[in-house]
Amino acid sequence: MVSPVKPGRACLHCGEPMVVITHATLEKMRSELNPVFRSLNSRARVKIQRRYHLCRHCDAHALGIDLGVAFPFYDLDGAIRDIHGNTLVAASEARFDPEPLRRKRRRGTVIVETHQGILLTRTGDERFLLPGGQAEQGEPRIVSALRELRSDMDLDVSNVSYLFEHESERHRHKVFYVRAGALPRPRLVTAEFAYYHQALRPELGHSAHAIITRFLGQRDQWMARAG
């Protein structure tokens, strides 16, 4: 519930009494809160709600502290500070997340290695990605990866090895390895293939770039483990 704080403590911006935001009302009031507060991850939001007071009547929706009102902002080092320079949330806890309650999607991602390089795919004008696909609810990611491989291309997939997990901004990837004897052929007219190797590096999406970089950096170890 929202309960008033000690008498006499008021918002210096509008003069209205300050109130304490408790866990029970956090989600109900979330859409009315300061955008910086709303963008925080859950740990940082809980920390602020326990230590600071909010004026829900003030148009600025200021986060108040005992001796005044603090209008929070992201500083250059990633921390959140008030107008006086006081640190409200440390940079390590202030990760920007505009949808903190949204779960990341699960994706099965495949590194298909051919004699021309690592296979990349794209449709339209997007950046090239690694093959694979989003897993349905309850579906293992290796199943979603192979399902998308078979629907997108003509490729003999008989030996698949698990490599590692990778977390990107939107997805939690499980990365698998396939060694292709022959070059795959696209099943979809709209699909475009390319190959990544030392001499040719097409423009990649962020996740594909990070996954390929990690794979190539430890390729010998992955191959030894896969047998």
Look at residues 60, 26, 18 and name the one whose alpha carbon lies nearest to residue 45: 26
* 21 vs 3: CA distance, rounded Å: 8
For residue 21, the model assigns a pLDDT of 40
DSSP 96-137: B-SSTTPPPEEEEEEEEEETTEEEEEEETTSPBB-SEEEPPT
Question: Parallel, antiparallel, or unpaired for β 185-186 and 153-154?
Answer: antiparallel
99 within some domain: no
Q: 67 Cβ partners below 8 Å, 6+ apart?
A: none
Structural domain including 176 reads 105-224
For residue 130, the model assigns a pLDDT of 92
Residues 112 and 79 in one domain: no
Pick the most confident of 29-38, 79-88, 158-167.
Answer: 158-167
Choose one of 26, 56, 89: the last residue of a domain. Answer: 89
Looking at the structure of the chain, the number of domains it has is 2
* 128 vs 122: CA distance, rounded Å: 5
* 64 vs 38: CA distance, rounded Å: 15
Q: Which two tokens stand for residue 16?
A: 């209205």
- pLDDT confidence band for 80 (50 / 70 / 90): low
DSSP 203-215: -B-HHHHHHHHHH
Residues 129 and 219 in one domain: yes
* 137 vs 68: CA distance, rounded Å: 48
Supply the DSSP symbol for 43: H
Residues 73 and 154 in one domain: no
Residues 75 and 160 in one domain: no
DSSP 10-25: B-TTT-PBPEEPPHHH
The more confident residue out of 115 and 42 is 115
Q: Helix 219-226 vs helix 206-217: angle between axes, to the nearest 10 degrees? A: 70
For residue 212, the model assigns a pLDDT of 92
Look at residues 227, 103, 115, 123 and name the one whose alpha carbon lies nearest to residue 169: 103
Residues 66 and 161 in one domain: no
pLDDT tens, position by position, 185-208: 777 665 788 888 877 777 788 889
Residues 142 and 63 in one domain: no
Pick the most confident of 3-12, 66-75, 166-175.
Answer: 166-175
Region of poorest pLDDT, from 12-26, 51-65, 94-108, 158-172: 51-65
